[in-house]
Amino acid sequence: MYSEERGDGTPLLLIHGFGVDHRILASLSSMIDDLGGWRQIFIDLPGHGKSPAEDVNSSQDVVDAVESWIRGHLGGESFAVLGNSFGGMVARCVAHDMREQVLGLATLAGVFVNDHDQRLLPRTTVLHEDPELIASLGAMAEDYTQMAVVQNAEHAAAFEKYVLPGLKSSDREALKRISAHYSLDQEPEDAHPEPFARPSLFITGRQDQVVGYTDAWNRIEHYPRGTYTVLDAAGHNVHLEQSKITEALVREWLRRVRED
């Protein structure tokens, strides 16, 4: 799998969501750099960005590929892991399957229920519409408006910089294959029922119509060191729509991981 690294110190693996690539999490890099002591490792999941799909045909295949990559590149080194959306599901699996190495877990709008029809979701809501802005976005408008809860120029610019490149570069045939087998063999909390007792962070968007916020909360007793946050005026791209609060929460999580 393709990867990019930034900084030195304790490894922090950042895993993007479905249909995008590692750039969707790049907005966090400067803040993490400022903290110092973290080796940021961004990967492109199979079939995304610069990573070929090869023989990956399911979500479980993606998890297996990521864990194999970690063993090959980090060996027995301890690391923290942060995942966004589908990458949050992958990160949860990594945290449980490789528990002895994982220093902490964070998810941003993470998938907690694989079957979309079984998710507890809020209704689709747009809190602020900007027709003039949308008209100026051209071909990007449709992709942007599917997720935007607060339509403004700042959020649209972030979407164009961090989200759109990955949308354009993903292997659509591979995504179809994985989508057809999206559910995991077993949810990680069920496969490993012992609570995950390392510092954790779960950030959700109050208006996230893709994964919601309730399903993450339903696992709260499994994460005794977990901070749970539901941010208003934020949808599935919560870390872009509420960037300052997200950065503060991720910074605080990394502090807890470091102190632990």
pLDDT in tens, 208-235: 999 999 999 999 999 999 999 999 999 9
pTM: 0.97
Quick one: average pLDDT of 67-75?
A: 98
Mean pLDDT of the chain: 97
CA torsion angle 95 96 97 103 (round to 10)? 40
Cα 214–chain centre separation: 17
Range of the domain at 160: 3-259
Quick one: average pLDDT of 42-67?
A: 97
pLDDT bucket at 185, cuts 50 / 70 / 90: confident
Rounded Cα distance between 225 and 227, Å, is: 7
Q: What is the pLDDT of residue 82?
A: 99
Quick one: average pLDDT of 224-247?
A: 98
pLDDT in tens, 151-184: 999 999 999 999 999 999 999 999 999 999 999 9
Which CATH number is 251's domain given? Answer: 3.40.50.1820
pLDDT in tens, 76-100: 999 999 999 999 999 999 999 999 9
pLDDT in tens, 11-29: 999 999 999 999 999 999 9
Q: How many domains does the chain have?
A: 1
Quick one: average pLDDT of 100-115?
A: 97
Closest CA to 54 of 64, 124, 75: 64
DSSP 109: S
Rounded Cα distance between 105 and 89, Å, is: 11
